Structure formats: C-alpha cells, structure tokens
C-alpha cells in the first residue's frame, strides 16, 4: 500500500469555517488523506478562507505568496482555496495566484474528492456553484473517531437580511436550513463519539426553519439526547428571537446561558442605513425580555464603528447602548468596504476617526467584560473540561457562560461538566477549584 497523502488545512474566519474544515478533512480522508500540522510535509494544502473584511481576504493572498516556496520545493504539492474568498473571487484567485490548483466554494465542497482526482491528474479544478444537491446529503456520515468534548454543528447557512455592509448574502447565498431529522442524526453521531456540548451554527441560526417549531423545537429535541449535556447556538439576528426561543433560555436546562446577539450600532440613523430593520430601543426591549426569562444570561455582540456617515453623536449612541446592556463579551471592528455591497458606494470615513472610535469602544467593552469576570469570583459554576492546561495537573474548560476556566483536577474530568468555585479572575480566563 502506498503511504497516505498528507493534508494541511488552515482555517480563517468564523466557526462555520471551522466546521466546514472538519467536513472537508473527512471528505478527503475518503481519498486516503491524513492530516498534518506541518505545511512543509503536505501533499495538499487547503486554505479555508474568510471574506468578511478586506484584511481577512488580503491575508489569504499573502499566505499564498508564502506558499510558493513550498510548491517550488515539492512540485507534487497541490494548493486549494476554499471558503468565502473562493466563492467571491473564483477564477480571479488562480489569475492572481497561479500556484493555486483548486478553488472550491462553501456550497460545493462535497465535490472535493472528484476535484482532488482532477488536480492529481494535472488539471486545475474550480467549483463555486450553488448546486441543487445538498452537500450534507452527499457527504458521508461523520467519522467515528473519538472527538473533543465540544463540537460545532451547522444547521443553517446563508442569509437573506442584506445588511448594507455585509458580503455574507453574496458569498453564502440565501438562507437554507437543514432538516431536523438529519441534524438529529448528526448530533447523535457526535455524542456517540464523545461529544458533550454542541454549538448549533448558522449565519442566522435563530431563523432556522428545518423544524416545525423552529430553532426552539430543534433545541428541545436535542435536549432529549442522553449524553448531550450542553447546547449553544450562534449567530442570531435580533429580529428572529422568537418567544419560544426566549422561553427555552429560561426553561431548557441544557441550553446554556450565553447569547451572541449582534447589534452593530446604537444609533437608529445608522441602524437604518445599515438596513438592520431594528432600532436601539427595540434591541433594548428584547434584551429585557431575554433577561426576564434568564436573568443571569451572558450577552455578547458585534459592533462596527465608522460605518459611512457615522457622526460623533451616532457613535455616542452606541456607547450609550453598551452602557445600558453590559456585554460580557464583544467583537468590534472598523467598517471595511466590501465591493458589491450597498455601503461600498457611500463616502467612507477617515481611517484615523475609525481608529479613535474603535479604541474608545473597546476600552468601554473591556471595562464591562472585566467587571463581569471579576463578579464571577466566589461563584460556583458548571465547567465542561476540554483539555489539559499548560501547568501539570491543571485542566481547562468552558464555563456555562463560555468563560475559559482552569482548575487543578485529575485527567478523568475531561469531557465532564463539573462544578467549579471561581477563585481568581484574569483578563481572558478564570481560575477555580473543583467543588468535591
């Protein structure tokens, strides 16, 4: 038998890409590939790319530039570009980076095995279709290998919201939900392979309609799986938070008290220009309803500063909204022009204004996050232990609220949810001791 071929995958961007990278790795596993974490050893390098902001896309081209030397050293090496840059730029990638052999979009990677055979034969392969066949039906069942305790599971893809700044509706296409029975089957496979926590993924996951009772219905069905201890979901749009989902946060024990609910801005004028179809007030009311159902829920959000036309007053309104909500976690970005989106046509803000606003916004968010971390000290919280820490005898896991937590613990806590009393709070993690 010939030696297995080696696959090196590098993933950029969001959690959906992390999930897709796993599925692509499994698909190529059927072609005799095993993974390597050294690009120099690889027979195939796959970059799973992100197009959400300009910098993310540029990173891919600089990485490809660096890979030219590897290709010179190993002429049999094949290089593939997957993900949203592949979808958005297609053939342009091969023009700009001729060392690329294969370009595959997020909706067509079930065709990777055939594409691999084509490139092995010396051809170039490009597939950025939105095919009629569902990739998840064509992909084989998840492999039986033992898995880490926490896994992602994509249940919904694409977006019909068309926020004025965002490329997702163009790169990922319109909203599609996977049928609940297939999701349930995949969830059971994951749990059988040792998974204790599943995060349901979708660009608009709370618009999931693969179950008669929406995402809440799916969550309740999942919660009946023995051995599955925790359920999370991300990312949600405020307008799709329905009553059943809010209620599930109060009543479903396995649904964790953490919600990523991007608001982007606190100014109604900017929200309107962004085509968000909600106001600051309606977001705050929604937060009140969610907190009424689950008072201790940890909220997180995405923010964009310097959207075209944002005045100092608009920006202040965002700071004001942040002060009112108190976010435990947040991701904030300078607006980045994306060709083909409506906002790209508008006059852009000066870079120094965006940079200055971003640093003020992040200072406030960090302050809030730090306070919430500090308030955890003395509390006892569930922690799913995921891996050994860097210090001997220490284990690391995630709290119910998604904090990274470390504690002295025996190795057999791996994969278990244990109660931990928090004793110290750092900037990015909490330390604690096992209770019993």
> Does the footprint of ligand 5AD cover residue 264 (CB under 6 A)?
yes
Q: Please, which residues bridge with residue 154 across strands?
A: 201
Tell whether residue 336 is a contact of ligand 5AD (CB under 6 A): yes
Report the candidate in 120, 133, 7, 11 with the shortest Cα–Cα distance to residue 60.
Answer: 11
- Residue 378 neighbours by CB distance under 10 Å: 10
| Rounded-to-integer distance, Cα 235 and Cα 224, Å | 23
Least distance to ligand 5AD from the beta carbon of 173, Å?
A: 16
**Distances, alpha carbon 230 to alpha carbons 152, 235, 259, 384, 397, in Å:** 12, 17, 14, 9, 13
Residue 341 has φ and ψ, to the nearest 5°, of -95, 150
Site map (CB under 6 A) of ligand 5AD, residues 165-204, x = contact: xx--------------------------------------
Question: What phi and psi, each to the nearest 5 degrees, are found at residue 220?
Answer: -65, -40
Q: Which residues contact 366 (CB under 8 A, 6 or more apart)?
A: none
373 binds, among ligand SF4, ligand 5AD, none (CB under 5 to 8 A by kind): none
Question: In whole angstroms, how close is the CB of 53 to ligand 5AD at the nearest point?
Answer: 5
Q: Residue 252 annotated as binding?
A: no
d(CA 235, CA 260): 6
Cβ 80 to ligand 5AD shortest distance, Å: 24
- Contact window for ligand SF4 (CB under 6 A) among 160-168, 357-365, 384-392, 402-410: 160-168
Q: How far is CA 218 from CA 155, 187, 221, 232, 245, in A?
A: 10, 11, 5, 12, 10
431 binds ligand SF4 (CB under 6 A): no
Q: Using the rule CB under 6 A, is 53 a contact of ligand 5AD?
A: yes
The count of chain residues that interact with ligand SF4, using the rule CB under 6 A, is 10
CB of 303 to ligand SF4, least distance (A): 12
- Give the residue, chosen from 48, 203, 301, 369, that forms a contact with ligand SF4 under the rule CB under 6 A: 203
Q: Is 168 in the site for ligand SF4 (CB under 6 A)?
A: yes
Segment (H or E) for 417:
strand 417-425
Tell me if 201 contacts ligand SF4 by CB under 6 A. Answer: no
**Category of 67 on φ-ψ map: left (φ > 0), alpha (ψ -120 to 50) or beta:** alpha
Q: Which of ligand 5AD, ligand SF4, none sits in contact with 52, Cβ below 5 to 8 A by type?
A: ligand 5AD
Q: Does 338 bind ligand 5AD (CB under 6 A)?
A: yes
Q: In 3D, which of 97, 91, 24 has the Cα closest to residue 67?
A: 97
Question: How many other CB atoms are found less than 10 A from the CB of residue 117?
Answer: 12
Rg (CA), the chain: 22
| 23 touches ligand SF4 (CB under 6 A) | no
Beta-ladder partners of 35? 7
Nearer to ligand SF4, 87 or 204 (CB): 204
238 binds ligand 5AD per the rule CB under 6 A: no
Are the beta carbons of 166 and 338 closer than 8 angstroms? yes
221/302 with CB nearer ligand 5AD: 302
Instruction: State the minimum distance, in angstroms, from the CB of residue 157 to ligand 5AD.
Output: 14
Q: Is 260 in the site for ligand 5AD (CB under 6 A)?
A: no
**Residues placed in the known binding site for [4Fe-4S] cluster:** 14, 50, 84, 159, 163, 166
Q: Which residues bind ligand 5AD (CB under 6 A)?
A: 52-53, 165-166, 262, 264, 302, 304, 333, 335-336, 338
Q: Which residues bind ligand SF4 (CB under 6 A)?
A: 159, 161-163, 166, 168-169, 203-204, 237
């Amino acid at each position: 038998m010939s030696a297995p071929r080696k696959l090196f995958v590098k993933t950029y961007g969001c959690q959906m890409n992390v999930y897709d990278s796993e599925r692509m790795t499994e698909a190529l596993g059927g072609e005799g590939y095993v993974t390597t974490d050294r690009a120099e050893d690889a027979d195939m390098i796959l970059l799973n790319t992100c197009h959400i902001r300009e910098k993310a896309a540029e990173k891919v081209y600089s990485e490809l530039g660096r890979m030219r030397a590897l290709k010179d050293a190993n002429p049999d090496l094949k290089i593939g570009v997957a993900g949203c840059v592949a979808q958005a730029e297609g053939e342009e990638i091969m023009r700009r980076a001729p060392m690329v052999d294969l370009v595959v979009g997020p909706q067509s990677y079930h065709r990777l095995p055939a594409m691999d055979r084509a490139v092995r034969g010396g051809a170039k392969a490009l597939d950025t279709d939105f095919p009629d066949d569902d990739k998840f039906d064509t992909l084989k069942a998840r492999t039986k290998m033992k898995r880490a305790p926490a896994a992602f599971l994509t249940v919904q893809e694409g977006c019909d919201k068309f926020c004025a700044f965002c490329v997702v509706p163009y790169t990922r296409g319109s909203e599609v939900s996977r049928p609940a029975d297939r999701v349930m089957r995949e969830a059971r496979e994951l749990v059988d392979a040792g998974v204790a926590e599943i995060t349901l993924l979708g660009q608009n996951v709370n618009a999931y309609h693969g179950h008669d009772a929406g995402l809440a219905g799916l969550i309740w069905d999942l919660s009946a799986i023995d051995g599955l201890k925790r359920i999370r979901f991300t990312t949600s749009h405020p307008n799709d938070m329905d009553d059943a989902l809010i209620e599930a946060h109060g009543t479903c024990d396995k649904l964790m008290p953490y919600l990523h609910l991007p608001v982007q801005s606190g100014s109604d004028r900017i929200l309107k220009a962004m085509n968000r179809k909600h106001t600051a007030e309606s977001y705050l009311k929604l937060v009140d309803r969610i907190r009424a159902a689950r008072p201790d829920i940890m909220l997180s959000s995405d923010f964009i500063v310097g959207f075209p036309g944002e005045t100092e007053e608009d920006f202040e309104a965002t700071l004001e909204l942040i002060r009112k909500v108190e976010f435990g976690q947040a991701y904030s970005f300078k607006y980045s022009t994306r060709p083909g989106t409506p906002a790209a046509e508008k006059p852009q803000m000066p870079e120094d204004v965006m940079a200055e606003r971003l640093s003020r916004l992040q200072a406030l968010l960090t302050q809030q996050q730090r306070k919430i971390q500090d308030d955890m000290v003395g509390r006892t919280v569930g922690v799913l232990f995921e891996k050994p820490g860097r210090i001997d005898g220490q284990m690391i896991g995630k709290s119910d609220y998604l904090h990274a937590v470390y504690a002295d613990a025996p190795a057999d806590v791996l994969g278990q949810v244990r109660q931990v009393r928090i004793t110290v709070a750092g900037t990015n993690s909490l330390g604690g001791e096992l209770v019993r």
